Amino acid sequence: MPKPLRLSFDPVARARELWQERWRAEDSMAAATSIMRVQQLLIARYDEALRRHDLTFARYEALVLLTFSRTGRLPLSKIGERLMVHPTSVTNIVQRLEQAGLVQRMPNPRDGRGTLAAITGEGRAVVQAATDDLVALDFGLEALDAEEREQLFVLLRKVRVAAEDFSGEAAEVR
């Protein structure tokens, strides 16, 4: 996929100006739009880095989840919940990973109707190599120093807490 052409203007700043002429909360709109645009830019960089591993970022995330699980297996429903994607998308992601030999699907012994995805040895090797590439890329955040990345994490965590992304003591903002 060719790299998109660089715009000759800041589209978020321009949208903020136009927004301000018609509505309130231009600061909130500009911040939210900046987050969404940065997400799109980062995903494009991740997908570019992961292409050599025949992965998309969504498939990479699924492999990471399986790597982090105690047994290397998770129900498809749990994968969807953690990735915040529709069950159909999880099925597609897991099918593609299975076709590539990176995961194996099996019946869930705890739920007769459910399916588990289990990472394979090849899947573990691919996720390690892909992670090495993303770390070398500094996850696309090389424009920020360590302190700025921590500030960004803390600020965005407050938004996630307010949106009830998770609950309990983990929701206490440090």
Tens digits of residue pLDDT in 74-96: 999 999 999 999 999 999 999 99
Total domains in the fold of the chain: 2
Query: Cα–Cα distance between 58 and 130 in angstroms, integer?
Result: 13
Statement to judge: residues 71 and 132 lie in one domain:
yes
| φ/ψ (deg, to 5) at 16 | -60, -45
Contact in structure between 79 and 94 (CB atoms under 8 Å):
yes
Structural domain contains residue 150 = yes
Q: Is the dihedral of CA 7, 135, 78, 103 positive or negative?
A: positive
What range defines the domain where residue 168 resides? 144-174
**Could you tell me which residue, 20 or 55, shows the higher pLDDT?**
55
**What residues contact 35, with CB distance under 8 A and at least 6 apart?**
156
- Return the structure tokens found at 49: 């880095």
Contact in structure between 15 and 29 (CB atoms under 8 Å):
yes
Tens digits of residue pLDDT in 27-63: 999 999 999 999 999 999 999 999 999 999 999 999 9
pTM of this structure: 0.85
Statement to judge: residues 43 and 68 lie in one domain:
yes
Structural domain contains residue 6 = no
Structural domain contains residue 4 = no
pLDDT of residue 7: 87
